[in-house]
Structure formats: C-alpha cells, structure tokens
Amino acid sequence: MTTKQRYESAREIYKNIGVDTDAVLETLKTVSVSMHCWQGDDVAGFEGDGQLSGGIQATGNYPGKARTPEELMADIDKTLSLVPGTHRINLHANYAIFAPGEQVDRDKLEPKHFAKWVEFAKERGLGLDFNPTFFSHPKADGLTLSSEDESIREFWINHGKACLRISEYFAKELGTSCLMNIWIPDGFKDIPADRLSPRARLKDSLDQILSIGYDKSLVDVAVESKVFGIGVEACTVGSHEFYMNYAAKNNILCLLDNGHYHPTEVVSDKISSMLLFSDKLALHVTRPVRWDSDHVVLFDDETKEIAKEIVRNNALDRVLIGLDFFDASINRVSAWVVGMRNMVKALLYGMLSPNEKLAKLQDERNFTELMMLQEELKLYPFGDVWNYYCELNQVPIREEWFEVVKAYEKDVLSTRK
Ligand SMILES: C[C@H](O)[C@H](O)[C@@H](O)C(=O)CO
Ligand SMILES: [Mn+2]
C-alpha cells in the first residue's frame, strides 16, 4: 500500500469518531515551532571560548559541532529540510555576527550585528525570535539584572534594551512578530539572608528595560522562571511567582519551560490557567531527566499532554511554542530533527483526538467511557496520518530522514576537526 492509500484508510477510521483528518492537516500546516539555534553548538555562540555558565550544562563531545555562523546555518538548513512545515529560528544574543575586528560587548549590540541572520531568515521565509544572553560572560559571574553592583546591573539593563531594539528590527524586517524572552541565571547556592532586595532590583531592572518603549504589535516580551540551577540550588531570583506576577502586572508574557519546575509538577496542567488570564503564553518544550537536563524532546506523555492542552484550549495562535534542549552526546542535527519532528507530531496527535466528544464525556461524568476511549485512541493509525503529512510536505517519512543525516555526518560534520 502507498502512503496515500494508508492515509485514506486512516481517514475513514478517524471519521468514524468525528475527526476530519484533511482539516487537521490544513491546520497543522499553519503552526510554527521556534527552533532554538543553540542545539547546534552546545550553547557556545560566536563570541569567544564558548564556555557555558549560568547553571546550565551541555554534556557530551560528539564530533561535528558547528563552529561558525556558516556551519550553524548549514546545519539549521539540513535540519529544517527534514521537518514538515514552516518554522522559526530562536536566536540568542551571543550569536551576533561581527565584521572582522569589530566585536562589541553585549550592552552595545545593534541590529546590524544580526543582519546576516535576517538575510538567512528572509531567504527561507522564516521568522526570528530572540533572547538576551545573561550568562557566559565575565560580568555574569555573580548576579546580573538583580546585582547589588550598580555598574553590573546597568550593563545588563543596557543589554536588555539593546535586545529589545534588535527584536523590533527582526519583526519589521521579516513581517512577523518576534518573541523576546528574558531568562537570567541569578540565584544563590545556599540559603540567602535577603531574598527581597535582589528581587526588588530585578523588578526595577525589568521596568527599566521595558521603559524604552517598544511596539507591542511587533515584539512579545516574555519572562522565564526557574526553580534552581547548578550552583544556585537554594534560591533563584526569577522564581515562578515573581515572573507570573510581573508578567500579569506589566501585560507581558510568561514563558514556561517544562524543565523549570519541581519534578512532579507538569507544565501541561498550567497552560489552561495561564490562558484564562493572559492573551498569550510562551513555552520552552524540553525533557528534564531528574533535573533541568535539557534532553532532546521525545514523543512522550508530557510532550503529548502539552500539545493536547494547546489544541483543546483552541490556543494554537496564542501559545508560542519554542524548544529548548542541548544534547552534545549525539549527532546534533539528528537531535534537532528528533525534537522538532516530535513537537509537530505531538500537535498532530492532539488534533487527531475527538476533543469535544471527550470533554462531553467528562461533563457527563462518564469516566468509564472516557478512559476506554482515551486508551483506544492510542492505537489509532496515527502513524499513517503523520507519514502522509511528511509526504505532503516533501520530507522523508518514518526513519528515512536518518539516511540524510548519516550522509551529512559523513560528508560535512566529520570534516569539522
Ligand atoms: C539557553 C536558554 O536560554 C536557556 O536554556 C534558558 O531558556 C533555560 O531554560 C535555562 O535553564
Ligand atoms: Mn528555557
């Protein structure tokens, strides 16, 4: 049987439970996932020695890491050629591309330092998202936006302001709004004596960054909380409560990273609550293994649950989906492809569920039938619909994409010594 014939058979099966697969595939085409540039080089960036700080870690030493903008862009191209749909690229400020001999510090970054990325995105019809980089820098040894040292704090405030201008530039150039996400590593290894002052300084720093004024139709600013990081185990300044309140009061977005909560807390359960109080919500989808380890996103229960929540809340246009993982122990392009395909797959899975029927069963308190149907759905011919979607989008089906990655490793990645 051909992929199309399998799809046609699956279409009939889904039709019997009220799911229109053709309509689902049309909708799925419109959804973009923001692919993080930092999986390609273990969050090293282009500024210098690429030493990662801030309580995050990429472990492994698989050969073939991108070392230059050209290599990173080539790897992004290869990855996107294997993922169905049109997506976005999420950049960090430490991926600025300077003219020879021109490097400036982060507080002095300008749109022109990202012109090559804009050119890259334009040629491919991609949107760009952005992140100020408050780590991997000599001035990020202690605290950044919450620093007690006013000159350090000012440096980072200026970095935030510079990034806001760059985000506006991305949106204007590319005709699609840019998400600018703020994450800082600030915190304390051991029990602090004063939690209030650093948080008050962080609040003031954010106020100052936002005070420059920006076009809200072009830039969505988000703040990303975290429960702990390596070396800041006792207290993080940018906690969930801090940012949830800050975002609500200042009409900006919260970004929920599903590696940033207590191990039994799930982001899928938070989405509906956030959407009841905010127009938009941003996500970093990742896979925490025992800690915020940033493993590659799998087609696992929580990824599916996150996707189902987005679909069931009718919020495909309100939830800005980004990925955040960095695995240096395996082929980095393969890691990207697996994570991206899984996120899209999870969205498809959520859309192929008879969501209204399931909600009705819940309202009728018919939990017996609800459980039965949810379990049976797991073995519906989902794979046949996924393969057809890949074929429609001219990307390889099943594991065929891996042959392309293997050839790329042999011809390109393995030559990077
Ligand atoms: C590199 C990213 O900005 C970083 O991973 C951040 O989003 C985060 O999740 C830190 O734990
Ligand atoms: Mn994150």
| Residue pLDDT, tens place only, 7-26 | 999 999 999 999 999 999 99
Any known ligand binding at 220? no
Domain boundaries, the chain: 1-30+354-417, 32-351
Task: Give dist(CA 349, CA 272) in Å, integer.
Answer: 18
The per-residue pLDDT for range 81-125, each reduced to its tens digit, is 999 999 999 999 999 999 999 999 999 999 999 999 999 999 999
Confirm whether 113 is a catalytic residue: no
**For a substitution probing ligand 1, which of 183, 286, 295 has the most ligand atoms within 8 Å of its CB?**
183
**Beta-strand relationship, 219-224 and 253-257:** parallel
DSSP bridge pairs for 253: 222
Q: What angle do CA 398, 322, 218 make, to 5 degrees?
A: 130
> Ligand 2 centroid vs 212 CA: distance in angstroms?
25
Q: What is the maximum span of the chain, computed from C-alpha positions, in angstroms?
A: 68
Q: Which pair of tokens denotes residue 59?
A: 């472990």
Q: What is the pLDDT of residues 289-322, one digit of tens each?
A: 999 999 999 999 999 999 999 999 999 999 999 9
Q: Does the pLDDT of residue 49 top 90, yes or no?
A: no
Hey, which of 39, 57, 90, 284 would you mutate to test ligand 1's pocket, going by the most ligand atoms within 8 Å of its Cβ? 284
Cα–Cα distances in angstroms (integers) from residue 327 to residues 167, 293, 334, 411, in the given order: 27, 9, 10, 21
pLDDT of residue 417: 84
> Is 186 tagged catalytic?
no
What is the percent of the chain with per-residue pLDDT over 90, rounded to a whole number? 99
Q: Where are the beta strands (DSSP E) in 241-364?
A: 253-257, 281-285, 319-323
Pocket of ligand 1 (CB under 6 A): 38, 43, 56, 131, 183, 224, 226, 257, 284, 292, 324
Summarised one tens digit per residue, pLDDT across range 352-371 is 999 999 999 999 999 999 99
Task: Output the pTM of the full model.
Answer: 0.97
| Catalytic, out of 257, 302, 327, 409 | 257
What is the chain's mean pLDDT, rounded? 98
Q: How confident is the model at residue 241 (pLDDT cuts 50, 70, 90)?
A: very high
In words, the CATH class of domain 32-351 is alpha beta
Q: How remote is the CA of residue 17 from the centroid of ligand 1, in Å?
A: 40
Model confidence at 48, in pLDDT bands (50, 70, 90)?
confident
Residue 159 CA, distance from chain mean position:
21
- Is 260 a known ligand-binding residue? yes
Kindly give, in sequence order, each residue whose CB lies less than 8 Å from that of residue 14, ignoring residues fewer than 6 positions away: 20, 21, 352, 380, 385
Cα separation, 382 vs 394, whole angstroms = 19
Q: What is the mean pLDDT of residues 51-57?
A: 91
CB atoms closer than 10 angstroms to residue 117: 24
End-to-end CA distance of the chain: 45
Q: Is the pLDDT of residue 212 over 90?
A: yes
Residue % of the chain over a pLDDT of 70: 100
Cα pseudo-dihedral 34, 329, 186, 208, rounded to 10: -30
Distance 33 CA to ligand 1 centre (A): 16
